[in-house]
Amino acid sequence: MGPEVLVLKVQQSFCLPHRKNHSMINDSGRIAQFRTYLTDVRAEVGKVVWPTRKDTMNTTIVVFGMVVLVSLFLWMVDAILALVVRQIIG
């Protein structure tokens, strides 16, 4: 089995099968499917438990606090490394 046969087999294995009839669903079927999709989306959005204003504020405060802590930590590491580099360079 030569390399050209292997290439052909690989190409054939990655080809998608061709449909003879592209319009398997008529327009009214597509509209019905779209309506069903929208109904399902509305039902799923109704199941979502949205955070309260208090939860959102608490989470925001925690995020800002962590940003401040991490920035202070990185500032300290940067200052220490700058001091070490200055000592090495002279």
Predicted confidence pLDDT, tens digits, the chain (90 residues)? 555 555 555 555 555 555 555 555 567 888 889 999 999 999 999 999 999 999 999 999 999 999 999 999 999 999 999 999 999 998
Q: Do 6 and 14 touch, CB atoms closer than 8 A?
A: no
Q: Do 51 and 59 touch, CB atoms closer than 8 A?
A: yes
Rounded to two decimals, the pTM is: 0.50
DSSP string covering 1-38, please? --HHHHHHHHHHHHSPPPPS-S--S-HHHHHHHHHHHH
CA distances from 18 to 15, 22, 76 (A): 9, 9, 62
